[in-house]
Structure 1
């Protein structure tokens, strides 16, 4: 069974097969954020990846400082994660059970777990150990309905056969369809006439942006109820080359006077490139900068 990212409250033990790094951090941050919003304790087992999760949470405007201070969000350090995964399946189960018991003892209504278990288990014991872990986890979480686990299986570490094996031991696969994802740039719908860009814009994908803008504008012009603002959320856009910035400015200049191209969450470095490419002089272009 597949579930959309919007259905996270219905997910207990699920896997996700990310299409790209941006997809991986998008789903992971959504999982963490959903847990925090529900009042659950969230434990993330990192393997030199906590900074990337925190970056995406910041881009999503999810404040985690208070959650980390009061123990609602716990990041298990890399060394502790690797040490745990090097142990037996039984010892890993004891660690998870300890997390569940500690969460209940401290009064949190539920527990959400995520992290780098897949690659770590693959390094330590191959696919056989990963499957054994998943079978143990499935049995454990069935007995603890307030605990939830997201398992992430990156194709850099799991080939097609391994991915299918992981799907076979999960009743639920979490999916998050993209408008476009070339592993450098990921585009997802974020609302009516609105999309979110994550990653980088360069010569390899800038034409996709133009096609998307023209198609979205055309749909808006043909609809009586569509917004007059075409919005690109650039909160997770970390780089745009000069030609890409020029393309955004030129696209806005082609908008009719009834519609605007609105860029939100624009990082300072992206703002500087847009400014040099004429953004301040494009009447139908609105640039909403962010301090981050």
Structure 2
């Protein structure tokens, strides 16, 4: 019977991620969900206050979830159901997971992948500790085609809880950004590519200039096979005037053999760059992209359009 656990190598994964802020949280969760969609798995996100931000990051990453929502491959579980699941008796979890995995496979998907917010479990009156829930989850996924990403971020969980959760997971997602102050996250995405997510203000603008100049130096020294540094700004929601001027000046000072390209720039940031002189910087290219992220209510409505 299919419901029996798979013998041989364990097909499941149960991974911990400990984001320092919401930019890293959305980056990790969106990449995890996108991986499941690409692998033909059913993916589920259990919301408890961050689904809008996760949907926005998926859009920033170029992942269109409209089709997967309509087909049932992507399921967005509303906050009230997430909280109800955390309040359910732990001895029901194994049976619930088996039913959910069986349903995913019977519907033609390769398995089940899920993640979400569990911080509601911190305040449940007289309830089980989160560590009991996570231990039960680890036993339930083992031997099944299930991939679980447990998110315990520093904004919502005390350090002592995070320390305990780290001991319950064999694998932890590692992160090595160029910079992350929980307001702005800068990551390297290629030899001459960086990505900025969040907001640039007076406190972190020197880090932006430093990161851009570092990559420009690499290109100038011939350390890459390109003459262009690309900065992906799809997830940059705010930039102050001084930071915009700083980046434009960095591009303006480039030799004619080098270029700086700003990709997927949001219209509001693009307008600021225009006012600060970007059109007159010959070595600077700005490519604009209009965000089209779904809101939770829209995602739920799309899922409701799925044929029965």
C-alpha separation in 1, matches of 2:123 and 2:248: 47
What is the CA–CA distance in structure 2 between the aligned matches of 1:95 and 1:43, rounded to whole Å?
A: 14
The root-mean-square deviation of aligned C-alpha atoms, in Å, is: 1.7
Tell me by how many angstroms 1:106 deviates: 1.5
Cα shift readout 1:219-247 (whole Å, capped 9, x = no counterpart): 22222544210111000000011111111
1:153-212, CA deviations, whole angstroms, 9 ceiling, x for partnerless residues?
Answer: 011232222111101100100122210001110000111111000001111111111111
Is the 1:112–1:148 contact (alpha carbons within 8 Å) kept by the matching residues of 2? yes
Tell me the SS of whatever aligns to 1:48. coil
Residues 1:174 and 2:165 aligned together: no
Question: 1:168 and 1:225 mapped to 2: Cα distance?
Answer: 40
Partner of 1:69: 70
1:158 aligned partner: 157
Structure with the higher fraction of residues in helix conformation:
1
Residue 48 (structure 2) pairs with residue 47 (structure 1): yes
Contact 2:18 2:153 in 1 (8 A): yes
Residue 49 of structure 1 and its aligned partner are, at CA, apart by: 2.1
SS for the counterpart of 2:206 is: helix
1:130 aligns with 2:126: no
Helix, strand or coil at the partner of 1:53: helix
Secondary structure at the residue paired with 2:28? Answer: helix
Gaps of 5+ in 2: 1-10, 292-308
Query: Residues 190 and 126 from structure 1, CA distance in 2 versus in 1: closer, same or farther, beyond 3 angstroms?
Result: farther
Shift, 1:17, TM fit: 0.2
Contact 1:85 1:92 in 2 (8 A): no
**Structure 1 residues 190, 127: closer, same or farther in 2, change over 3 A?**
farther
Structure 1 length as normaliser, TM-score? 0.92
Question: Which portions of structure 1, spanning 4 or more consecutive aligned residues, are displaced by more than 4 angstroms?
Answer: 125-128
2:16 maps to 1:15: yes
Question: Residues 12 and 143 of structure 2 are in contact (CA less than 8 Å); yes or no, is this contact kept in structure 1?
Answer: no
| 1:135-166 residue CA offsets vs partner (Å, 9 max, x unmatched) | 1111111131x111110001123222211110
Q: In 2 relative to 1, CA 102–236 (structure 1 residues): closer, same or farther, beyond 3 Å?
A: same
Look up the match of 1:291. 290
The reply on whether 1:231 has 2:233 as its aligned counterpart is: no
Within 1, Cα distance between the matches of 2:259 and 2:171? 40
Aligned position for 1:32? 33
In structure 1, runs of 5+ residues without a counterpart are 1-9
**In structure 2, do the counterparts of structure 1 residues 83 and 127 end up closer, same or farther at CA, with 3 Å as the change threshold?**
closer
Q: Tell me: CA distance 1:66–1:88, structure 2 relative to 1, closer, same or farther (3 Å).
A: same
Q: Which residue of 1 aligns with 2:4?
A: none
Give the drift of 1:128. Answer: 5.5
Residue 262 of structure 1 corresponds to 261
Asked whether the equivalents of residues 11 and 172 of structure 1 are also in contact (C-alpha less than 8 Å), the reply is: no
- 2:243 is the alignment partner of 1:211: no
SS in 1 for 2:35: helix
**Partner SS state of residue 83, structure 2:** helix
Kindly indicate whether structure 1 or structure 2 has the higher relative contact order, using CA contacts under 8 Å at least 6 residues apart: 2
Task: Give the number of equivalent residue pairs.
Answer: 281
Q: CA deviation at 1:46?
A: 0.8
* Partner residue in 1 for 2:93: 92
Distance 1:224 1:120, change over 3 A: closer
SS in 2 for 1:215: helix
